[in-house]
Structure 1
Amino acid sequence: MSLLPRRPHLPSRARWTAGLAAILALALAATVPTTGGKALAAQTGGPSHAPRLAPYYQQHVDWHTCGKPAAHTAGRAVARERGLACATVRVPLDYSDPGGADVALSVARKPATGPGGRLGSLLLNPGGPGGSAVDFLTGYAGEHYPEAVRARYDLVGVDPRGVGHSVPVRCLDGPGMDRWAATDVTPDDAADTAALRRSFHGFAEACRSRTGTLLGHVSTTEAARDLDIVRAVLGERRLDYVGASYGTFLGATYAELFPRRVGRMVLDGAMDPSLDARRLNLDQAAGFETAFRAFQRDCAHREDCPLPAAGPAANGTLAAFLAALDRAPLPTDDGTRTLTEAQATTGIIAALYTEAAWPALRRALGEAMDGDGTTLLSMSDAYYERGTNGHYSSLMAANTAVNCLDAPPAFTGPAAVRAALPDFEKASPVFGRALAWTALICADWPHPATGTPHRITAEGAPPIVVVGTTRDPATPYRWARSLAAQLTSGRLLTYEGDGHTAYNRGSTCVDTTLTTYLLTGTPPTPDTTCH
């Protein structure tokens, strides 16, 4: 689970799906981000197979107004007004065979607006894995990123291979995803466990059959190597980069591969590449428990709070509500779909990514506890990027595909999950069980993991700023501390607050510190803390 939230006005129930997308920016999958990429020797010169990769590094790309000609005239007009341009960059499907098939990466660019001299290209990644950087740029960052940064940098979004507009991973169709999202992920007996295992296996088989060879080549290491080709195509000597959540792992992997090509790099809401998948899931369970407690403490002071004021009682009330849904899903205004326990859990978790969603979560829980699951189902739909027409984006498919390649599975079978349940339930009495069972999804993946957890030092890179939020639910603060310590040139910036990630979310201290670094190259002093 990983995304870059922001603070819009909260919508009415009828507009909740679009509103949550605005709050959360890019809602991500219910599987946690995992580490990936085998440790590679720092490269001071060109990448391996450099002569064979020369056609990719030297390719010419044609920039055009974003949007399809004729069919989307209004969209083209908006893109032209905003100065947005799009292009396709070719990269090798398999870096061990660069003379083979290609992958077409979708790239969008918003030129620097001035005043002031242009500093270069600043690549943005909003997280995931599976979040579209192109959509993030064209739908948000191009207009709402800090003005001083937009003035001096060309902002660039690159959809990683298998993501968004870059030959996306495909798995289930809309009805299949509806069933998958509703599947019970807290099995009570052997039959429930078998049904969950069939659901995960069916998802994996659909990905294999619909995606083909690409499914084995969507690792973070490959995506990082792709970024270096994009850097060269843009004409930049170094990579200036801001990555959020999973985007921090992508950025750190780039720094490991090409430390002397790193420019100014911000890793916000950092992941810890040294942790295995089981520990990442366990830490994230604890992170969401911390976020729920913060929500509950705030809720206790609100007239519309549907939970008891005391923490243990609030946990008990929510657990009882979810258990009742397991027995009898709630009706919704959808007409054909009910609210299941799994979807309610997803909707609650989605709202915990940012405190801006807390009022809507209070309302949704109150309605659901009164028998109407409509709003909570809409929250789950927004998190999964389900449109009102029943179509899902490729977010969930890409998220799972990248995670399963990046590290060995957290669990190899149901027995291993059951053995770990006490630890997960201790970490989060409400969410631990669901997050433990969800981590089983990579056990039957069609392609074995190509990455292993390891420390990333990126020796030789200039200062890299790592940002951690103390009550971040999706990327716990300890991960940021760890990554900053691993990186030889890491500088930790701490934000004392709630929510996932910190840059451009309302903290003047954070925004000023990071914008100054991006504009001048001056990193924060060691262990700077913002409130």
Structure 2
Amino acid sequence: MALAAIVIPAPAASAKSTVDWGQCPNDIPTAFLQCAAVEVPLDYQHPDGKKISIEVSRVPSTEPAKRRGVLLFNPGGPGGLGLTFPLELAQAGLPANLLAEYDLIGFDPRGVDHSSPVSCELKPEQFYTIVPKYAHNPAEVTKAAESGKQISRQCASAASSAVLPYISTANTARDMDRIRAALGEPKISYFGLSYGTYLGGVYATLFPDRTDRIVLDSVLGPDGYDITASRRFAEGMQDRFPDFAKWSAARNSSYGLGATPAEVTANYFQLADKLDRHPAGGFDGSLFRSATHSLIYQTSAFPRLAQLWQTFLANQEPPADSLPSTGGPIQSQIATMLSVVCGDHAWPRLISTYQRNVVQDRAAYPLLGGATANVWPCASWPTRPIEPPVEFSDQGPSNLLLVQNTRDPATPLVGALETREAFGERARMVTVDQGGHGVGLPSLNSCGFNAVVDYLATGTRPATDKFCAAEANAAPTPQQQQLLDRLRQY
């Protein structure tokens, strides 16, 4: 495959690290992390121009004599908070050999929280309309387009508007290479989850000879978060929801959501329709659909979802903490997410395109298709992409391991298969017969998790693509559940 992006060489790795490790920012409440700032160009086409700061974290190797190198992480997003992610993984159960072999490196991507944060200065109620509402008819698509247009205007008039065009996946990958160079490392290993798989794929394409061992978990298609990926959320929901329906039907005596999967599914549509007409506790039908989608990311969240449904079936107000958070660094996360999603690719501008897509996806994927095919702010984004998207390449070292669930609600299997094909013999793929988002995390599927650990620790990768059977897994520990809950927003 050809490389369609502007490839800008990064400086060669220095002989030793130039990073000055110290305390982390005050809102990172841990003594187990070290943090530092790495300066990078805002615009890599003008590397001597304006600079921005990327905040980086480190969990040092537990046995420096066994240290192999550095292992960078990205938790997804775009816009996911990355500074504490390595420590959270370590506390959730990363094995001792990985903690010995690597310095674990996290970072807030450009635009996020501690890394030169950006903002669209949105109102809290707008946070719920970034991903568009479920559209039942063409008029509701037009209404969503107006809402998206208002968000785009606010992004364009915000104080950080001049920075937004440079918040892109390709530039974040280039930042990763600047981090590598500052650490004095000739190569980096990498673990990326969800959107982090696309970021890792872009890095492996732009800088193939600077990659060591690359793991991509819950894999986006080779075009990242474009309009196709948005519509595929509905396909993922359709694939995954039967797991929840079956689980609920088996526990009907506890939750009363339906005695059969068909009854549970019917209740989903009845509740969505009811909340469309009569919102309750801040939930309309669209937010109910979105919350259901989010809470089927992990089977361990099924009880929480069942309890939420119970409140609506009983005509009660849901708990206040059921609504998504509007506090903390959410402004920078959303502005970064929009900048990447709308800036990596040019989205269709014609509203009729989305009206047509909604009709198609509402029929094909009735659980969620009317929302995920609807209009994003990207349809009216104030700037066009500053460079063509990176096309994944099969030219380079054979050092990528892809791990993927068969029924992933966020990154369906179809996208992972496309990425696997794009990388050719550079990649191997482990497919796991289970539902949910995430494979190589502690407490999920041991076959998939062990494949990730074996590769990162020993370099042993399956000789051919591999299939892992379904497993009955133990309940996650509190630390593991806390990590899984945080990752649902990505």
Q: TM-score, structure 1 length as denominator?
A: 0.80
For 2:19, the equivalent position in structure 1 comes to: 61
- Deviation, 1:227, is 0.7
Instruction: From 313, 316, 321, give the equivalent of 1:369.
Output: 313
Say whether 1:522 aligns with 2:487: no
Contact 1:169 1:397 in 2 (8 A): yes
Cα distance change of structure 1 residues 292 and 373 upon mapping to structure 2, 3 Å threshold: farther
Contact 2:218 2:438 in 1 (8 A): yes
Unaligned runs of 5+ in 2: 470-490
- Deviation, 1:502, is 0.2
- Deviation, 1:421, is 2.2
Instruction: From 188, 200, 206, give the equivalent of 2:154.
Output: 206
For 2:269, the equivalent position in structure 1 comes to: 319
Contact 1:412 1:440 in 2 (8 A): no
Contact 1:110 1:142 in 2 (8 A): no
Cα distance change of structure 1 residues 516 and 207 upon mapping to structure 2, 3 Å threshold: same
Contact 1:182 1:342 in 2 (8 A): no
DSSP-derived class of the 2:66 partner: coil
For 1:34, the equivalent position in structure 2 comes to: none
- Deviation, 1:179, is 6.7
For 1:23, the equivalent position in structure 2 comes to: none
DSSP-derived class of the 2:105 partner: strand
- Deviation, 1:275, is 7.5
Whichever residue aligns with residue 486 of structure 1, its letter is A
For 2:351, the equivalent position in structure 1 comes to: 414
For 2:120, the equivalent position in structure 1 comes to: 171
Instruction: From 214, 238, 258, give the equivalent of 1:308.
Output: 258
1:258-297 → structure 2 map (5 Å cutoff): 258-274=207-223, 277-297=226-246
For 1:12, the equivalent position in structure 2 comes to: none
Contact 1:126 1:243 in 2 (8 A): yes
Contact 1:289 1:427 in 2 (8 A): no
Say whether 1:431 aligns with 2:368: yes
- Deviation, 1:130, is 0.8
Say whether 1:90 aligns with 2:27: no
1:206-225 → structure 2 map (5 Å cutoff): 206-210=154-158, 211-225=160-174
For 1:39, the equivalent position in structure 2 comes to: 4
Contact 1:38 1:451 in 2 (8 A): no
Say whether 1:403 aligns with 2:341: yes
Whichever residue aligns with residue 447 of structure 2, its letter is C
Contact 1:109 1:155 in 2 (8 A): yes
Contact 2:135 2:370 in 1 (8 A): yes
Alignment identity in percent?
Answer: 31
Cα distance change of structure 1 residues 295 and 116 upon mapping to structure 2, 3 Å threshold: farther
Say whether 1:339 aligns with 2:297: no
CA displacement 1:131-166 (0-9 Å, x = unmatched): 011132344546643332112210000221112321
- Deviation, 1:451, is 5.6
Whichever residue aligns with residue 468 of structure 1, its letter is Q
Unaligned runs of 5+ in 1: 1-36, 333-337
- Deviation, 1:56, is 11
**Corresponding pairs, count:** 464
Contact 1:123 1:241 in 2 (8 A): yes
DSSP-derived class of the 1:394 partner: helix
For 1:5, the equivalent position in structure 2 comes to: none
1:126-145 → structure 2 map (5 Å cutoff): 126-141=75-90, 144-145=93-94
DSSP-derived class of the 1:212 partner: coil
- Deviation, 1:322, is 1.3
Kindly report the root-mean-square deviation, in angstroms, between the aligned alpha carbons of the 2 structures: 2.8
For 1:484, the equivalent position in structure 2 comes to: 420
DSSP-derived class of the 1:206 partner: helix
Say whether 1:328 aligns with 2:278: yes
- Deviation, 1:276, is 8.2
For 1:29, the equivalent position in structure 2 comes to: none
For 2:432, the equivalent position in structure 1 comes to: 495
Cα distance change of structure 1 residues 38 and 183 upon mapping to structure 2, 3 Å threshold: same
- Deviation, 1:101, is 0.3
Whichever residue aligns with residue 179 of structure 2, its letter is V
The farther-off stretch of 240-249 and 481-490 is 481-490
DSSP-derived class of the 1:273 partner: coil
What CA distance in whole angstroms lies between the structure 2 residues aligned with 1:315 and 1:258? 46
Cα distance change of structure 1 residues 150 and 296 upon mapping to structure 2, 3 Å threshold: same
For 1:162, the equivalent position in structure 2 comes to: 111
What CA distance in whole angstroms lies between the structure 2 residues aligned with 1:342 and 1:370? 19
What CA distance in whole angstroms lies between the structure 2 residues aligned with 1:483 and 1:213? 32
Instruction: From 294, 297, 300, give the equivalent of 1:356.
Output: 300
- Deviation, 1:503, is 0.6
What CA distance in whole angstroms lies between the structure 2 residues aligned with 1:305 and 1:363? 7
Cα distance change of structure 1 residues 482 and 103 upon mapping to structure 2, 3 Å threshold: same
For 1:509, the equivalent position in structure 2 comes to: 447
Contact 1:181 1:342 in 2 (8 A): no
Contact 2:257 2:264 in 1 (8 A): yes
Contact 1:285 1:435 in 2 (8 A): yes
Cα distance change of structure 1 residues 58 and 474 upon mapping to structure 2, 3 Å threshold: same
What CA distance in whole angstroms lies between the structure 2 residues aligned with 1:182 and 1:252? 25
Whichever residue aligns with residue 85 of structure 1, its letter is Q
Contact 1:271 1:480 in 2 (8 A): yes
Say whether 1:465 aligns with 2:401: yes
Whichever residue aligns with residue 161 of structure 2, its letter is G
CA displacement 1:158-189 (0-9 Å, x = unmatched): 22111232122212345453674798542546
Contact 1:112 1:155 in 2 (8 A): yes
What CA distance in whole angstroms lies between the structure 2 residues aligned with 1:240 and 1:455? 21
What CA distance in whole angstroms lies between the structure 1 residues aligned with 2:100 and 2:314? 50
Whichever residue aligns with residue 88 of structure 1, its letter is A
Contact 2:221 2:415 in 1 (8 A): yes
Cα distance change of structure 1 residues 193 and 421 upon mapping to structure 2, 3 Å threshold: closer
Contact 2:43 2:166 in 1 (8 A): yes
The farther-off stretch of 451-460 and 520-529 is 451-460
What CA distance in whole angstroms lies between the structure 1 residues aligned with 2:246 and 2:146? 39
What CA distance in whole angstroms lies between the structure 2 residues aligned with 1:456 and 1:155? 26
Cα distance change of structure 1 residues 271 and 193 upon mapping to structure 2, 3 Å threshold: closer
